Amino acid sequence: MKKGAIFAIAALFAAMAAPASAAKMGRVTLTGEIIDSWCYLTQIMYGEGTAHHQCALWCAAGGIPVGLLADDGKVYVILKLGADTTSVANPAVMRIQTHRITVNGDVYTRAGINYLVIDKVVNDAGIVKLTHDEYGIQPFGK
């Protein structure tokens, strides 16, 4: 089993064993890339940029949590975007998949996992990480 998969499973069990409430860390402005959390964390395939765009759309539509890989290197699981009550197959989330964005919102932490409730997308630079030439189009690869 890959290190990423072991980490993801360990994080899931840690979250289940943690106290019921998450600590609110405060208001933030973050910049980074919207990612498919499953492929990024498990490293089952290359999970960033144009190489992963189609797969990221499929995963988001299928209910895989969407995250923000921020410039600080941390992954923030997106719980809510704007007034929408879900991130599962949310059209607003689907429109920004693999985009580089800047957001305002609230960060919560529980059992070492960062969660993000986004109030507003301040800037959307679109897809800027062009990785398809190097990695091929995922999940098919080169």
Confirm if 103 and 120 have CB atoms less than 8 A apart: yes
Secondary structure letter of residue 50 according to DSSP: G
pLDDT at res. 18: 45
pLDDT beneath 50: ranges in the chain: 1, 10, 13, 16-19
Q: What is the pLDDT of residues 106-133, one digit of tens each?
A: 999 999 999 999 999 999 998 776 666 6
Confirm if 127 and 53 have CB atoms less than 8 A apart: yes
Q: Coil, strand or helix: which one is 87?
A: coil
pLDDT at res. 109: 93
pLDDT at res. 136: 59
pLDDT at res. 2: 55
Residue 39's contacts (CB-CB under 8 Å, 6 or more residues apart) are 45, 46, 47, 52, 55, 56, 59, 138
Boundaries of every domain in the chain: 3-135
Rounded Cα–Cα distance for residues 66 and 88 (Å): 8
pLDDT at res. 83: 79
